Amino acid sequence: MRTVRLIIAYDGTAFFGWQFQTGMRTVQQTMAEAIRAASGEDVTVVSAGRTDTGVHALAQVVSFVTESALSNVSWRRALNHYLPLDVTVLEVADAPDGFHAIVDSRGKRYRYLINDGPRRDVFARHYAWRVWQSLDVAAMDGAGEGLLGTHDFAAFQNAGSSRQTTVRTVRDVLVERRRFAEGDRVVVEIEADGFLYNMVRNIVGTLVEVGKAKRPVDWPATILAGRNRRQAGMCAPAHGLYLLQVFYDL
């Protein structure tokens, strides 16, 4: 028996999230089917983050236990052969015995893309939130600073996933405008030791209110202190969100 660690990327558009759901196309089910096709094994596939419907991943970490003698090179080749075109295995490596993609994670970094340009980009409709107003990126970045550190983030959690605690440590909030091949995008990146349900999307929705000059720069920090979800901004659409990186002490 050995534990295998994968880094995978996927386009979440046509998936009903990561977690297995009867009758639904999910990333977890798709990965399990590819592993079965490659090795004949039925395994439990664990990911570092249970991304929601429409959410993408640039570097999702997946682990499973196998009895297969396939080499890591063969695993990658076989899985990419059996996987559909909206999922790819980027890296395969042996992990220490007992490694668990969720439990052993020391933090994650997410990226959110916003298209606030003057034209509607039909090719980005599944990959960036369309906001019909030019955003004040400097104000959004300043507002994000008020969320840094260890706090109770209950104000930025949606109902639907119980947690032992809503305290999290946010290590970085970055908001900037970047040039991509398809045009300028407002990029929001958030890194923390862990995230509550829809926490990133709720923070982004709140920062956008600041970027539209509807709220002052210190508003997100005030919302944080109040711990009332109803006082925060909207939950940004899922399709602009990307799991960017998962951190481990390996």
Question: Catalytic pick from 52, 104, 116, 141?
Answer: 52
> What angle (nearest 5°) sits at the alpha carbon of residue 54, between those of residues 17 and 99?
40
Contact 60, 7 (CB under 8 A): yes
CA distances from 236 to 194, 227, 248 (A): 19, 19, 28
CA distances from 189 to 10, 44, 75 (A): 18, 30, 32
Strand 46-47 to 56-66 pairing: antiparallel
Q: Phi and psi at residue 146, in whole multiples of 5°?
A: -70, -5
Query: Element (H or E) spanning 49, and its range?
Result: none
Can you read off the two tokens belonging to residue 136? 């004040």
Distance, in Å, from the CA atom of 163 to the CA atom of 167, rounded to the nearest integer, reads 10
Q: What is the DSSP letter of 146?
A: T
Can you read off the two tokens belonging to residue 33? 């089917």
- The answer to whether residue 94 is catalytic is no
Q: Is 164 helix (H, G, I), strand (E, B) or coil?
A: coil
Can you read off the two tokens belonging to residue 18? 């990561």
Q: Phi and psi at residue 3, in whole multiples of 5°?
A: -100, 130
* 242, β-bridge pairs: 56, 111
Active site members: 52
